[in-house]
Amino acid sequence: MPSSAGNQAKNRPVDTVILAMPGTLPTTVAGPMDVFTQAGQLWEMLCAANPSPRFNVRIVSIDGGDVTCMNGMQIKSQGALADVSSADLLIVTSANIAERQSWGKIVVPHLTRLHRQGTRLASICTGAFVLAEAGLLSGRVATTHWGFVPMFRELYPEVDVRPERMLTQDGSIFCSGGINAYAELCLYLVEYWCGYRTAEQLAKALVLDGWREQQMDYSLFEFQKRHGDAAILKAQNHMEAHFRDALNATALAEICAMSERNFKRRFKKATGDTPNEYLQRLRVEHAKHRLEQTALGIETVAEEAGYRDVAYFRQVFKQLAGMTPQAYRMKTRIALPAETDKAAA
C-alpha cells in the first residue's frame, strides 16, 4: 500500500504509469491515458465547475525509446521503466507474447521492485502474461483475452485464470480481459482511488456505456452471467437479491432443483467461482459502496453486508479489496450533502 494512502486521491493526483509494451495495441495505451487524464476534469468542465486532475499519467517503455505498436503506429515514451522509482499505479498494456523471453532481464525485476514498494499493478488483455512472467500472479485470480487462455494456462499453471471474468482484482493486482475491457478496468480503478461519484461522473462525461447507474455494483459480475445456464443464472440473481442472508450451497441447489454436488460443479463451470466466492465478492462490493457513501460504523457496514463476525469481514474485505475497510473509506469517502452544508456553514 502506498505510504500516502488514506485521502491520497483527494490530496494529490494518483501517480500513474502506463507501461507500453513492444508490439502493443495502441488502444490499450491511448484508452487508459484518455480515461485517467479526464478524471476530475471533463465532467467539471461540462458542468462549469473547477477542474482538478485526479491522475498524473506518464507513458514509459522498456528501454525509454518510442514504442512501435502492432499496427505500425509509433507511441512516444516519456522514459524507461527503470527510471520509475515509485508509483501509485502501474498499468501494463497488451503485449507481444512472442517476446516474453526478453521480459525477464528488464521488465520482471522492476515490476517486482515496484510491487514490493506498494505500487498497485494492473494489466490489459495479454498484459497479464507480463505480470505472470514476473511471478506476481502466482496463486492469484486473474483474467486475460479469452483466445490466449489455453496458452496462459500452459505457461502459468499456478495462476487461477478466469476467462469468464471481464475484470479481476486479487489484493493489489487488477486484470482485464479483451482489448476494450480497458474502459471498465480504468473506471473501476478511478472508483478504487477516487470513489464512486467521480467514476460515475466520468463515465457519463465520456459516454461510456455499461457503467452502472445503481449504487450496488454488479458490473463486475455481468460478464459471468453470459454462460447460457439458466439454472445457474437463477441462483446468481437470487444471491444478488439476498446476499445478506445466510446462503449456502444446499439452499441454492434447492432453488435450482438440482443436487448440491451438481450445483457446485455447474456453478463453478459457469462463473469460474465457487458459490461462496461469488457470495463474498457480492458482499464486499456492497460494503465498499456503504463505506464510500455513508458514515456508518464498520460493524454496521459488516452487518448490512451479511457478516455477523466483524473480524471475518475485515479479513475477507482486505483479501478482496487489497486494503482494510477503514483504509478504503479514508481513500474513497464521498461527503454527504449534510456534511457538505455543515462544512460550508
The predicted model gives 245-252 an average pLDDT of: 93
* Interatomic CA distance for residues 74 and 61, integer angstroms: 12
Higher pLDDT, 261 or 197: 261
Q: What is the per-residue pLDDT for 107? A: 94
The CB density around residue 294, as the number of other CB atoms within 10 Å, is: 15
Q: What is the per-residue pLDDT for 11? A: 63
Q: For the CA atoms of the chain, what is the radius of gyration?
A: 20
User: Closest by alpha carbon to 35, among 173, 185, 176, 193?
Assistant: 185
Among all chains, which residue has been given the C-alpha cell 500472479?
137
The amino acid sitting at 28 is: T
Q: What is the per-residue pLDDT for 163? A: 84
Q: What is the per-residue pLDDT for 215? A: 32
Q: Give per-residue pLDDT as tens, 57-87.
A: 999 999 999 999 999 999 999 999 999 999 9
- Examine the pLDDT at 7 and tell me if it is beyond 60: no
The pTM for the full model equals 0.69
* Interatomic CA distance for residues 103 and 63, integer angstroms: 11
